[in-house]
């Protein structure tokens, strides 16, 4: 009996050690990104109580623009830079400095869009501050990608914590003094500036060290080989993911979208962590593929998937407890509880598909198969928009999420086929 216990002890200890290693690898990135997401949520909750109806809508739309800017940055700058750095033998990656001025041009473009929206809907002062906030947000975002690309996730986490901490401090002050749109814009500017401190002055200087024309010339091959295809993927993915939001609201009205919004709210932390862990794992996979260590790349892919599925399971448990034990904390009496349950179930299924799909997608990017990946995304987009439209017209609007699930399944199966073909080719090459 003692021998059996002794034999079981290492197994249990090994599992505990693996869980600890998993948390150490993914926990910091997930936690810091989730804190930033919570800080934006707190800003929106504050606006509901302190701003007028028009200002609330304007602020929400500006935050959506900034969030979409992150996706564009990933497609045009962050992902190509990460892959280039981790496939290069240059220790300081100075040969890729042209990415920094390109990032500055992208950030300035977003700043101008934010400023224009704020000018038209708020005030000139708000336009100035939100223009700065839009610009600085993408400069900070690329700083996070730069840290992950050079395998320094703690630096990115410090930036996130500094950013969220500044927003929290600003909100505490605003609760006493009050705040308008301009004050909230100033809050975002201050948070971005403080969030840039962990990256150092040298990081900012690299954005202006090369003339824009020269930087664009050096960037042109990257655009042809990678960025053009990743941009197609991002735009089609965004269209697919948000198609039910636009179509349901347009055809059935905002009230019909309410149960879906509640379902999406439960799984927002999973989406945030998918973005954060993608930035963490992409450099690792890319370096392994560049070295020809395909076993290490596959192990990273599997561990990434295991972490996301574990996070998804935990989120499902929390959602179930909240809905069944404390429904009054989440659900308003005016909401149809049955429709909310259906929405949560469909959103859970959608989230699971994304958790399985994302690691395979990152591996495909690490292999620089951008064009096939973009083709899969376009096919998925067409299926999603058609399916969502038909479901909204023929069933209760809540079932439109099923159309998004179908589109993501099409995407997942397509990427899985690309992944399986690559693994088969590697085995034949041995």
- Give the per-residue pLDDT at 349: 93
| Dihedral sign from CA coordinates of 121, 125, 129, 134 | positive
| Greatest mean pLDDT range, 151-155, 226-230, 354-358, 380-384 | 354-358
Higher pLDDT among residues 339 and 332, named by residue? 339
Higher pLDDT among residues 151 and 100, named by residue? 100
The least confident of 246-250, 275-279, 369-373 is 246-250
Query: 298 Cβ partners below 8 Å, 6+ apart?
Result: 363, 423
- Give the per-residue pLDDT at 187: 93
Average pLDDT over residues 154-161: 90
pLDDT category at 65 given cuts 50, 70, 90 is: confident
pLDDT category at 52 given cuts 50, 70, 90 is: confident
Q: Which two tokens mark 130? A: 């939100």
Q: Which two tokens mark 324? A: 């069944």
The least confident of 117-121, 244-248, 322-326, 407-411 is 244-248
Q: pLDDT tens across 174-185, in order?
A: 888 878 889 999
Query: 199 Cβ partners below 8 Å, 6+ apart?
Result: 140, 143, 146, 147, 155, 159
The three-state secondary structure class of 208 is coil
**Average pLDDT score, the chain:** 81
- Cβ atoms within 10 A of the Cβ of 249, count? 15
pLDDT category at 10 given cuts 50, 70, 90 is: very low
DSSP state letter for 98: T
Of 353, 333, 355, nearest to 258 by C-alpha is: 333
pLDDT category at 41 given cuts 50, 70, 90 is: confident
The least confident of 56-70, 118-132, 213-227, 391-405 is 56-70
- Give the per-residue pLDDT at 47: 78
- Give the per-residue pLDDT at 257: 66
Q: pLDDT tens across 191-226, in order?
A: 999 999 999 999 999 998 889 889 999 999 888 887
pLDDT category at 313 given cuts 50, 70, 90 is: very high
Share of the chain above pLDDT 90, in %: 24
Average pLDDT over residues 17-43: 67
| pLDDT above 80 (res 269) | no
- Cβ atoms within 10 A of the Cβ of 9, count? 10
- Give the per-residue pLDDT at 234: 73
Higher pLDDT among residues 397 and 108, named by residue? 108
The three-state secondary structure class of 87 is coil
Structure-token match 């085995």, residue found: 427
- Give the per-residue pLDDT at 246: 63
Higher pLDDT among residues 11 and 221, named by residue? 221
| pLDDT above 80 (res 329) | no
Structure-token match 């005016």, residue found: 334
d(CA 300, CA 303): 5
């Amino acid at each position: 009996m003692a021998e059996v216990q002794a034999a079981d002890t290492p197994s249990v200890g090994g599992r505990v050690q693996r869980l600890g290693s998993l948390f150490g690898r993914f926990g910091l990135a997930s936690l810091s990104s989730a804190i930033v997401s919570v800080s934006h949520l707190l800003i929106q909750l504050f606006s509901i109580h302190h701003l007028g109806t028009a200002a609330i809508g304007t602020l929400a739309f500006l935050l959506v623009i900034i969030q979409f800017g992150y996706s564009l940055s990933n497609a045009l700058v962050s992902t190509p830079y990460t892959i280039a750095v981790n496939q290069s033998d240059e220790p300081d990656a100075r040969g890729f400095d042209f990415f920094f001025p390109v990032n500055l041009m992208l950030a300035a473009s977003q700043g101008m869009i934010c400023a224009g929206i704020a000018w038209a809907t708020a005030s000139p002062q708000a336009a100035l501050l939100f223009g700065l906030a839009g610009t600085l947000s993408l400069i900070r975002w690329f700083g996070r990608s730069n840290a992950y690309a050079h395998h320094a996730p703690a630096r990115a986490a410090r930036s996130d914590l500094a950013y969220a901490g500044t927003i929290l401090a600003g909100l505490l002050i605003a609760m006493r003094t009050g705040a308008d749109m301009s004050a909230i814009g100033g809050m975002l500017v201050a948070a971005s500036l403080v969030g840039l401190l962990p990256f150092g002055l040298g990081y900012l200087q690299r954005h202006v060290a090369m003339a824009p024309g020269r930087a664009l010339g050096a960037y042109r091959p990257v655009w042809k080989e990678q960025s053009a295809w990743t941009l197609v993927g991002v735009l089609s993915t965004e269209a697919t993911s948000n198609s039910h939001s636009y179509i349901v609201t347009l055809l059935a009205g905002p009230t019909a979208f309410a149960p879906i919004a509640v379902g999406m709210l439960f799984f927002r932390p999973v989406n945030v962590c998918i973005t954060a862990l993608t930035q963490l794992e992409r450099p690792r996979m890319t370096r392994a593929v560049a070295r020809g260590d395909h076993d290490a790349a596959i192990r990273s892919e599997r561990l990434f998937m295991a972490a996301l599925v574990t996070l998804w399971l935990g989120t499902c448990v929390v959602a179930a407890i909240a809905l069944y034990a404390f429904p009054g904390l989440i659900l308003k009496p005016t909401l149809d509880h049955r429709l909310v349950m259906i929405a949560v179930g469909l959103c859970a299924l959608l989230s699971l598909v994304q958790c399985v799909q994302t690691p395979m997608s990152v591996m495909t990017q690490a292999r620089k198969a951008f064009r096939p990946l973009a083709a899969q995304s376009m096919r998925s987009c067409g299926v999603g928009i058609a399916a969502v439209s038909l479901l909204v017209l023929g069933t209760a609007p809540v079932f439109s999420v099923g159309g998004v699930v179908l589109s993501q399944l099409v995407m997942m199966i397509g990427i899985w086929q690309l992944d399986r073909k690559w693994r088969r080719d590697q085995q034949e090459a041995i």
